[in-house]
């Protein structure tokens, strides 16, 4: 049996380009998560000021062969592989394996347009759940949403309010996966917001920005919605 293959990629990037890089990395990581042999991947941010490598990506694969085959699907161009000190970094993102639609009961969540999701949330007909990671949520999120990151969603599903749920992410991929997890956990009336936050903003629906009035506390996550329910 082959040993697990661990890839460590230090990333040298300017601070002003970090947000766009992380968005692109998230999309690429979700492609990798669907490949055979993928175990998990993490993104770490340095806690050491002035570090040459502000970000480090660590990916685990079942074998070197699986990793090499995945590189044909999503090559990491121009990135170096090296060893870094893990104690100098804190994890900021995690991507777990993609669940196959054939697993569990195989049902996909129905899609709602951003406008319809907003209307139902305002009327108390559903809870809007943002499944993006903490840093994405902090940067901006749909008004009225609660936060439950996809990477921790299995554990936090029971904390979400009863009743219909509409999951939202950046483009609609992670929200569909979150919806599938909710369905497998026995939740009914589960939706995914089509097009995610990008479509939400394109429809000129309200978002909460850092420091803006009414911004939710990240630590509260679902508490406000539970009180409202």
pLDDT average, residue stretch 69-73: 77
pLDDT at 152: 86
Rounded Cα–Cα distance for residues 193 and 144 (Å): 14
Query: How far, CA to CA in Å, does 197 sit from each of 157, 205, 211?
Result: 21, 9, 19
Show me where the domains of the chain are located.
Answer: 5-95, 110-228
Instruction: Write down the architecture of domain 110-228 according to CATH.
Output: 3-Layer(aba) Sandwich (3.40)
Please, which pLDDT band fits residue 162 given cuts at 50, 70 and 90?
A: very high
Statement: the pTM of the whole predicted model exceeds 0.75: no
Distance of CA 172 to the CA centre of its chain: 10
Q: Who has greater pLDDT, 160 or 221? A: 160
Q: Is the pLDDT of residue 14 over 70?
A: yes
pLDDT average, residue stretch 201-215: 81
Q: Is the pLDDT of residue 204 over 90?
A: yes
Q: Is the pLDDT of residue 51 over 80?
A: yes
Which span out of 60-74, 92-106, 111-125 was modeled with the highest average pLDDT? 111-125
Please, which pLDDT band fits residue 119 given cuts at 50, 70 and 90?
A: very high
pLDDT at 163: 94
How many contiguous H segments (helices) and E segments (strands) does the chain have?
8, 11
Instruction: Write down the architecture of domain 5-95 according to CATH.
Output: 2-Layer Sandwich (3.30)
Q: 127 phi and psi, to 5 degrees?
A: -105, 125
């Amino acid at each position: 049996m082959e040993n697990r293959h661990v890839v460590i990629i230090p990333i040298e990037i300017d601070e002003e380009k970090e947000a766009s890089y992380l968005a692109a990395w998230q999309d690429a990581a979700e492609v990798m998560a669907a490949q055979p042999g993928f175990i998990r991947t993490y993104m770490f941010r340095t806690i050491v000021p002035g570090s040459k490598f502000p970000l480090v990506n660590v990916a685990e694969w079942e074998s070197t062969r699986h990793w090499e085959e995945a590189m044909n699907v999503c090559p990491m161009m121009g990135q170096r592989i090296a060893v870094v000190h893990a104690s100098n970094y804190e994890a900021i993102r995690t991507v777990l394996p993609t669940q196959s639609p054939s697993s569990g009961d195989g049902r996909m969540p129905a899609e709602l347009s951003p406008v319809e999701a907003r209307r139902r949330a305002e009327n108390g007909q559903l809870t809007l759940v943002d499944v993006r990671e903490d840093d994405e949520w902090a940067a901006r999120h749909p008004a009225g949403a609660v936060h439950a990151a996809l990477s921790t969603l299995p554990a936090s599903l029971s904390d979400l309010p009863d009743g219909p749920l509409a999951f939202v992410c950046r483009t609609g991929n992670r929200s569909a996966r979150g919806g599938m997890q909710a369905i497998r956990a026995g939740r009914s009336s589960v939706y995914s917001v089509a097009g995610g936050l990008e479509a939400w903003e394109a429809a000129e629906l309200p978002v909460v920005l850092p420091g803006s009035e009414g911004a939710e506390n990240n630590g509260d996550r679902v508490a406000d919605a539970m009180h409202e329910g």
